[in-house]
Copies of this chain bind each other. A is one copy, B any other.
Amino acid sequence: MREAYHDQLGELAEQLASMCGMVGDAMELATKALLDTDLAVAERVISDDAKIDDARARTEEDAYSLLALQAPVATDLRTVLSVIHAAESIERMGDLALHVAKAARRRHPQPVLPEAVRGYFAEMGRIAVDLARKAEQVIRTQDIDLARVLDDEDDAMDDLHRHLFSVIMAKDWEHGVPAAVDITLLGRFYERFGDHAVSVAKRTVFVVTGKMPGYSSDATDL
Contact = CB atoms under 8 A, between A and B. Distances in A.
| Most chain B CB neighbours (cut-off 10 Å) among A106, A168, A181, A182 | A181
A74 interface: yes
Interface string A91-126: 000010001001100100000000000000000000
A7 to B, nearest CB: 20
Nearest to A102: B221
Contact of A185 (B169, B178, B182, B188): B188
A216 to B, nearest CB: 11
A101 B173 CA distance: 27
Nearest to A96: B218
Interface in A31-75: 64, 67-68, 71, 73-74
A81 to B, nearest CB: 7
A25 interface: no
